[in-house]
Structures are given as C-alpha cells and as structure tokens.
Amino acid sequence: MAGGTLPELPPVIPEARLIRHRDDDWSPVVADLATQGTVLIHARLPHWRPPEPEGPELRRLLGRDWSKYLDIAHEQLRDRFAATRLLLKYAAGKSLGAGDPADVELSYGPTGRPYLRGCDQVDVSLSHTDDLLLVGLTTRGLIGVDAERADRQLYAKGMGRHVCTQDEMRLLAEEVGRGRDANQALLRLWTLKEAYSKAIAQGMAFRFTEFGFGPDDRPVQVNRPDGTPGTGQEWGFRTFGLDEYVVSAAVYDAGFGRLRHTDFDNMLDEEAVAAIAEELARQRS
C-alpha cells in the first residue's frame, strides 16, 4: 500500500484488552486506538456466544454475514464465527463512535481477509482457537493477529521443516542444545508468521519457509531465508502469553501517523453514509 514518511521507530502494539461481555467497559479499547493507533481485544467464547443462535437480533447484528453463518454446519464453528464477528463489530462500533454495532458492515477480500466497509482507514484482523477470541484494529496501516494453544505440539511432530527457514531451523537446534523448549520457540515463529501473513493478506499463499524471524532476545523483524533483514522500522511485532495461549500481532505503519478523528461518520462522506444507511435498512426489512 502507498504510504507517507517511514517511521523512525516500529509501531507500538499495546497489551490485549479483556472484554468480558457487550456491556463491559470499552474505554481502554477506545483509548488505545486513539493514543496508540492500535488495539488488541480478547474475549472468551462462552461470554460472546449468541443467546439465540437463529434469532432476529443475531441476524440484525451479523448483517451480510448471516448467510455465511447459516451455512456453517458444525455448531462450535458456527458459534465462533458469530462471536468473533460480534466482538469485532462492537469493538469497531465503540472505537469509531457508531451508535449501533449493526451499522458496522464487514466485507471480505479475495483471500477471505475481513475489512470494514466504508472505513478503509481502519484495518482489522480476527483469530480464534478453542474458546479464545482475538480481534485487532489499527489506524496505522495494516494489522494481523494469531493465537494458538501453548500446549500444541509442533516441534515433536517435525513441523519445523515445513514452516521454518534454514536460519530458523538452525536457531531451533541451538535452543535444543541449550536445553530450552524448542516447541515454545516454534509456536512463537508460527504465530508471528500467521499474523504477518494475515496483515499482508497472503494467508498460506506466501510459504512460511520463504520468510522468517530471529530469536526473541532481539528486535523482531521479518528476515529473508538466510536470516538477513527483510523489513525495517515500518513493521512492529509482539508475542505474549495469554493464559493457556500464545498470541502474536503484526502491525505495519504506513507513515501517516495515527488518525486524529476516528468517529465513524468522519470516515465517510455524507453521500456514503446515506447510501450505507439506506442499504442496511433495506436488508433489515
């Protein structure tokens, strides 16, 4: 994407905010997006599972996603789909000043990456595993988030050679030689690669063996397969533990700085606002 002046420092990725339910205190979420330009939100599926799985209120809130929701046969996957969309819509609505989360419309790019219709200054990303729901929003440029269970066994199953560069395999071997947990190191690499791939909208099309990351005791950046730097200060990364999960986030700073105004109406001209409102009303009728 085209950008402004490249930043001198990587974008800051704040700690993830826990939102237990729809009526929770959203002020830390709003503050993070306003001051840092990025916010991460986590929640648990039982707290965001739709009370009426096929009720009119869920249909109203999901909007265009309603048909996708009904097409999912597996109950738990269907619940996760609805819960992550509700969490994202509420987060975006609270942060952007939309009075009703149903007014926040989601669409999807060619790779299935979600975006907010009419709000191209705000980038979003979703992840879920088991009962963890994770949402990221940024006004900096691009964002990707990913989460995995901390006890997921990747190293013992030989996954390293399928997802790591030669330089990363060398680093993992060094971890084993020092008596450290190579599986945790591999989980960190896996979630970083997933987050970065989501941010650049490549998914699995960009093979994980074609880019890598260094050890966690150094500033995190994308490396070429030989371990030399592939990105600069425009990218920020963060990996952290969240209860029984490993979470990573990637944020690209396009160089425009954080938005001063993130109100929903300020991101759209009057005609666009009127057109969206009319379309939403038509869909609900």
Query: pLDDT digit string (tens) for 56-75?
Result: 999 999 999 999 999 999 99
pTM for the whole thing? Answer: 0.86
Which one has a higher pLDDT value, 92 or 266?
A: 92
pLDDT above 50: residue 267: no
Q: What is the 3 state secondary structure string of the chain?
A: CCCCCCCCCCCCCCCCEECCCCCCCCHHHHHHHHHHCEEEEEEEHHHHCCCCCCCHHHHHHHHHHHHHHHHCCCHHHHHHHHHHHHHHHHHHHHHHCCCCHHHCCEEECCCCCEEECCCCCCEEEEEEECCEEEEEEECCEEEEEEEEECCCCCCCCCCHHHHCCHHHHHHHHHHHHCCCCHHHHHHHHHHHHHHHHHHCCCHHHCCHHHCEECCCCCCCCEECCCCCECCCCCEEEEEEEECCEEEEEEEEECCCCCCCCCCCHHHCCHHHHHHHHHHHHHHHC
Please state the rounded mean pLDDT for residues 131-156: 95
pLDDT in tens, 100-143: 999 999 999 988 899 999 888 899 999 999 999 999 999 999 99
Q: Specify whether domain 17-278 bears CATH 3.90.470.20.
A: yes
**Lowest-confidence region among 201-205, 230-234, 270-274:** 270-274
Task: Sketch the domain layout of the chain as residue ranges.
Answer: 17-278
Which one has a higher pLDDT value, 255 or 34?
A: 34
**Per-residue confidence (pLDDT) for residue 276, from 0 to 100:** 37
pLDDT in tens, 216-243: 878 899 999 999 999 889 999 999 999 9
**Per-residue confidence (pLDDT) for residue 262, from 0 to 100:** 54
